Amino acid sequence: MALGEFDLIQQYFLSHGNRTDVVLGVGDDCAVVSIPEGRQLAVTTDTLVDGVHFPSDTSARDIAHKAITVNLSDLAAMGAEPAWITLALSLPQANENWIRPFADEFIATAAKYKVQLIGGDTTRGPLSITVQAMGLVDPERMMRRDGARPGDAIYVSGTLGDAAAGLRILQQKQAADENGAWLIKQLNRPDPRVELGVKVAEYCKCAIDISDGLAADLGHILAASHCGATVYKDRIPLSHQLVEHSINRDEVDWELVLSGGDDYELCLVVTPDNENKLMQVSSETGLILTRIGIIEQQKSLTIVDETGAKQLLDHPGYEHFTQ
Ligand code: ADP
Ligand code: MG
């Protein structure tokens, strides 16, 4: 059954969540929220377009989950605590068989991360999902891209390259075994490092989320901070699923690891005196944090491989990898 725009909003997106800081949510011309004194608003938005950001046969539930989590990943990289989201939805038709699972998963994901849907827009058009996420940040605890200094240590959370490997499995229509299924799940169900971001922001001044691959995203930090880095390839954390899927570590496609997108892990830059605090957060959150390199004065990104051979990437020429 085809639904009208207003019925659709009424039925699926009206009044979910119960945050006390929402003065007015879905239903009026604007949403109104209160911002606690002493905190600032962090705002980010990301669009997912059918066929560009996800394969066309991706399920409505996976799309809903990802539309929220990619935005929460940006808040995490800032050290912001997620609070509210808006949803601008462009749909080719009001097909309830698609909208119902989409809305269910969307509302469930919002609840999981304690963010409330406070407004949006619904139009007819090619399938495209835009979420805006807003969070609260302490002015003194903001992780910015321009905060890296020579001598700082570079860490990443989790493992890299998994989502890109998952995408390749889908694109090449490979049969997915257990490892393959896990890699595809990393692509479709990113787990934004919200808790990690908020916890480390106390002493970590510089971070980025890895959405376009380590080389490109670390490159953004280096460009903004006017410095370079050395990264040790053999320290880059790989999942056992990726290693086994690739047969062994020597066979891993490093392009996936260094330049593949959709990891949504955090790359953190900390001064050496704060490294032990990072390790503490790692044990509190159960999340692996790995030191992969160091910030340097010289403005290039050097990747050192296991034999000690250096590959120099003049920045910002990280597109080398994607060509
Ligand atoms: P307006 O024409 O004033 O922009 P709309 O008719 O577009 O209002 O939307 C009515 C209400 O429903 C607004 O509060 C808007 O924020 C909300 N809304 C519309 N689409 C969505 C959506 N997909 N998700 C959440 N809220 C929505
Ligand atoms: Mg509108």
232-256 per-position pLDDT tens digit: 999 999 999 999 999 888 889 999 9
Check residue 119 and report its DSSP letter: E
Question: How far is residue 33's CA from residue 286's CA, in Å, rounded to a whole number?
Answer: 33
Name beta bridge partners: 24. Answer: 32
Q: What are the φ/ψ torsions at residue 79 (nearest 5 degrees)?
A: 80, 20
- Residues lining ligand 1, judged by CB closer than 6 Å? 9, 13, 26-29, 87, 89, 117, 119-122
For residue 287, give the nearest of 154, 153, 193 by alpha carbon.
193
Q: What is the mean pLDDT of residues 121-126?
A: 93
Burial state string for 31-49 with b = 16 or more CB within 10 A and e = fewer than 16: bebeeeeebeebebebebe
Residue holding tokens 């260094």?
258
Counting from 1 in the atom list of ligand 1, the atom nearest the Cα of 26 is: 14
Q: How many residues does the chain have?
A: 323
CA of 87, nearest ligand number: 1
For residue 137, give the nearest of 41, 277, 202 by alpha carbon.
41
Is omega for the bond preceding 316 within 30 degrees of 0, making it cis?
yes
CA of 10 to the centre of ligand 1 (A): 9
Dihedral sign, Cα of residue 297, residue 299, residue 303, residue 307: negative
Name beta bridge partners: 54. Answer: 50
Please report the pLDDT score of residue 314 as a whole number: 58
Whether residue 56 has pLDDT greater than 50 = yes
Q: What is the largest CA-CA distance in the chain?
A: 63
pTM: 0.93
Whether residue 5 has pLDDT greater than 80 = no
- Report the mean per-residue pLDDT for the chain: 92
Q: What is the mean pLDDT of residues 36-53?
A: 96
CA of 27, nearest ligand number: 1
Amino acid at 257: V
Nearest CA, atom 12, ligand 1: 27
Nearest CA, atom 1, ligand 1: 29
List of E strands, 234-309 = 265-270, 289-296, 300-304
Question: How far is residue 81's CA from residue 88's CA, in Å, rounded to a whole number?
Answer: 22
Please report the pLDDT score of residue 8 as a whole number: 75
Amino acid at 210: I
CA of 116, nearest ligand number: 1
Mutate to test the pocket of ligand 1, among 107, 121, 124 (most ligand atoms within 8 A of CB): 121
Please report the pLDDT score of residue 320 as a whole number: 36
Cα-based distances in Å from 266 to 74, 161, 208, 263, 286: 9, 13, 6, 9, 14
Return the structure tokens found at 270. Answer: 């900390």
Q: What is the mean pLDDT of residues 208-225?
A: 96
Whether residue 309 has pLDDT greater than 80 = yes
**CA atoms lying within 13 Å on the CB side of residue 255:** 6
Nearest CA, atom 5, ligand 1: 121
Cα-based distances in Å from 134 to 207, 239, 313: 18, 31, 35
Nearest CA, atom 24, ligand 1: 120
Question: How far is residue 309's CA from residue 301's CA, in Å, rounded to a whole number?
Answer: 14
Whether residue 10 has pLDDT greater than 70 = yes
CA of 51 to the centre of ligand 1 (A): 26
Distance of CA 214 to the CA centre of its chain: 12
For residue 268, give the nearest of 161, 137, 153, 158 by alpha carbon.
153
Helix or strand or coil: residue 117?
strand
Nearest CA, atom 20, ligand 1: 121
CA of 28, nearest ligand number: 1
Please report the pLDDT score of residue 249 as a whole number: 82
CA of 23 to the centre of ligand 1 (A): 16
Please report the pLDDT score of residue 2 as a whole number: 59
Whether residue 134 has pLDDT greater than 80 = yes
Helix or strand or coil: residue 290?
strand
